[in-house]
Amino acid sequence: MPPASRDRRHDKARICATRDQMGRVANLWQCAPYNCGSASIWNMAYSYDLAGDVTSYTNPEGFTVTQGIDVNQRPTSLTYGANMAVSSITYTPWGAISTMCGGGGCAQSQETRQYNNRFQPVLMELGNSSNLSADYSLTYSYTGSSPPCAAATGDNGNIMGSTYTDNVNAGYSHAFTYCYDAVNRLTHAVASGSPAYDLIYSYDQYGNGTCAPGSGGGLCPAVSYNSGTNRMTSIGSTGVSYDPAGNQLNDIWSTYEYDAEGRVKHSYSSGQWQYPMYNALGQRVQDYQGIDPMTLTYPIDIFGQRTGTFDQHPSAHWTGWDVYWSQVAGQRLNMGGASAFIDHSDAVGSTTMETDPAGGVQWDVTHYPWGGVFQETGIRQSEVVMGLDWQVNDPLVPSATREVSSALGRWMTPDLLGGDVSNPQSLNRYAYVLNNPTTFTDPLGLAPPAGELKAEFKLHCLMDPVCNHWSSVGGYDYWTILGYDPFDLLFKTVCNSEGCGTYLDTHAADILGIWRVGPGFIGGALGLPAPGPPNWQYSQKRGCMDLKVGAVTIVHAGAGYAGHGMGLNNPDSQSIGERIDRANAGPLPRGRYVIGLPTNEIGPVSMPLDPVPGTNMEGRDSFWIHGDNGSNSRFSSSEGCIVLSRPSRETVTGSGISNLIVVP
């Protein structure tokens, strides 16, 4: 039985930071109940280059992790202490990984990736520079198919099949075939070889899935649903219940309790119990678990990634670090002593092999479509499943916001964001990636993928000459157009009489939840890690308001202006305010700001801007984002404030992201 119930929210898990003059984190201090109030509080000290890239940081244990950065702001190597973890990374012209070599150099360990002309992965190999597939080769097909699937008529983005040739453990080699229905839900998954599997899935009109027992294993319990809520009513003969917030309280293996924010605070399964604890940012930083009680603490870096496991295990007489973690270019590294193990992954971010610096295979694993382990051998350092960090003793796979059950193929709690009526399947807030786990991942647990919505840019569209993004002309009062950017990600443009705002489908706040197989956009399994939190960026000269992750533009909210007369969109006039020359006031000064909550103070959906300490305000103050209010006798159109159309302003405030950087 578990210990007496305890609410982990009352335990102490603290985090605080100091920042440099550019507003970047310089020191990240954090502690758990083990060391809060003592001199051993963990600190991570960060160093940056002139472009703002992290060049080094201190792991909570005390050693330094250093990254090499190229001229395109991409990581090229990583060392920890005096040890080399990744010796070389090269990239395609669009930023996806081309090669990655282990700490011993490319002659000992090299991962190689190739893509088609739609930036989709077609070949992933692991070996060395002399034999690229010495360990394995993994090929993907997006057109055609084989029985039992109908032949595909073209590449619509779904992975139709793959061939995995394992040259270390031949019994792990399989040819995989995937079938989909008319709305791109996985209906059939077949793995040839020995062992093999043949799994059949079906769905009701609301996207609730069931499976038909096939051959070769794979969990397939009989499931029934309440079609009014999309919640399970039973799994086999076991009834399923939910709390008033829609959080699932049990399955056939475990029971669960949740805190007021919908996070699991207790789980119990056949003697195995677990009490997670979270910091103020909602990140899981500790697990107190049994049967044999131990406490595992996970310090978090500035990107939200775990940096290691600190273990308090009384029965083993052990208190100390079990493993240290880092990430480079989206790949998990397990560091310890003089060895760094690399987690190599497939197209949806699930681990395939772990290798040591010399290229030796330490762990070999294959998975079922929803992330369950199909085969494995060797010693596991850690595991990434569907792009999510999973601990083997955790009954669920946690994302940044909620947990998914790989056994049931669905989320345990509802999506914090609503779906999109233009894609009814997204209205099921429990379905994992619209029931297409062989093509999509969702590391944040916030949004369904958008790739199955097929449309062209229509109506009277042209390329915006200012910001190089699609916008529209014509006399339409309100309409929506859909289309694909070069990365095959679906963008939605909403326009009315004031102008247009562009963002990723399905909602501006969903942008980091949409991870598309292909170029590894926003640090997916195949590309670059998100180089930092997203920031809105406004250009004084171009008037563009863009949401960026590092140097990558994720959302273009629209083009506006700031300033008046000779100061209009003139970076050289940023020091000229209304007190000096109102008729020629320049745009708001360069620097960092916090976007406040929307009000009607300066017209509808206007947002105050508070400068971050360290921003040189040139003696000016009181800046806003607002609409063109020149017709209002109280205001001129802009005396330095950012003027955007209403759809653009709604894109900004709807994103939930309040960081703003003003650049020339």
Identify the domain containing residue 581 by its residue range: 533-663
User: How much is the pLDDT for 470?
Assistant: 32
What is the pLDDT confidence band of residue 6, given thresholds at 50, 70 and 90? very low
Q: Is the pLDDT of residue 86 over 60?
A: yes
Checking 617-625 for CB contacts under 8 A at 24+ apart, the result is 617/589, 617/591, 618/574, 618/575, 618/577, 618/589, 619/575, 619/577, 619/579, 620/575, 620/577, 620/588, 620/589, 623/588, 623/593, 625/595, 625/649, 625/652
User: How much is the pLDDT for 479?
Assistant: 31
User: How much is the pLDDT for 71?
Assistant: 85
**Which has more pLDDT, 277 or 129?**
129
Q: Tell me the per-residue pLDDT of 147-202, one tens digit each, with 9 for 90 and over.
A: 777 766 678 888 999 999 999 999 999 999 999 998 999 999 999 988 999 999 99
> From the CB of residue 622, how many other CB atoms can be counted at a distance below 10 Å?
13
What is the pLDDT confidence band of residue 648, given thresholds at 50, 70 and 90? confident
**Which has more pLDDT, 643 or 491?**
643
Residue 181's alpha-carbon distances to 159, 201, 386, 406, in angstroms, are 13, 10, 22, 21
Instruction: Tell me what percent of the residues of the chain surpass a pLDDT of 90.
Output: 38
Instruction: Look up the CATH number of the domain holding residue 630.
Output: 2.40.440
H/E stretch holding 76 reads strand 75-80
Measure the CA–CA gap between 344 and 515, rounded to whole angstroms. 18
Q: Tell me the per-residue pLDDT of 570-620, one tens digit each, with 9 for 90 and over.
A: 999 999 987 788 788 999 999 999 999 888 888 888 999 999 988 999 999
The closest alpha carbon to 584, from 575, 592, 597, belongs to: 575
Measure the CA–CA gap between 398 and 393, rounded to whole angstroms. 12
User: How much is the pLDDT for 644?
Assistant: 92
What is the pLDDT confidence band of residue 217, given thresholds at 50, 70 and 90? low
- Assess contact for 649 and 494: CB atoms under 8 A: no
| pTM: predicted TM-score of the whole model, two decimal places | 0.68
Q: Alpha carbon 265 to chain centroid distance?
A: 23
Q: Is the pLDDT of residue 378 over 50?
A: yes
Assigned domain for 411 exists: no
Beta-ladder partners of 338: none
> From the CB of residue 521, how many other CB atoms can be counted at a distance below 10 Å?
25
The token pair at 2 is 């578990």
- Assess contact for 492 and 480: CB atoms under 8 A: yes
Assigned domain for 588 exists: yes
The token pair at 47 is 């160093």
| Out of 54-68, 175-189, 489-503, least confident range | 489-503
DSSP for 151-196? PPSS--S---EEEEEESS-GGG-EEEEEEE-TT--EEEEEE-SSS-
Mean pLDDT of 526-539: 59
Assigned domain for 612 exists: yes
**Which has more pLDDT, 423 or 546?**
546
Assigned domain for 191 exists: no
Assigned domain for 1 exists: no
Mean pLDDT of 416-431: 83
User: How much is the pLDDT for 445?
Assistant: 84
User: How much is the pLDDT for 152?
Assistant: 62
Q: How many domains does the chain have?
A: 1
The closest alpha carbon to 9, from 263, 250, 245, 246, belongs to: 263
Assigned domain for 583 exists: yes
What is the pLDDT confidence band of residue 308, given thresholds at 50, 70 and 90? confident
Q: Tell me the per-residue pLDDT of 130-143, one tens digit each, with 9 for 90 and over.
A: 999 999 999 999 88
Assigned domain for 457 exists: no
> From the CB of residue 664, how many other CB atoms can be counted at a distance below 10 Å?
11
Q: Is the pLDDT of residue 315 over 90?
A: no
Assigned domain for 569 exists: yes
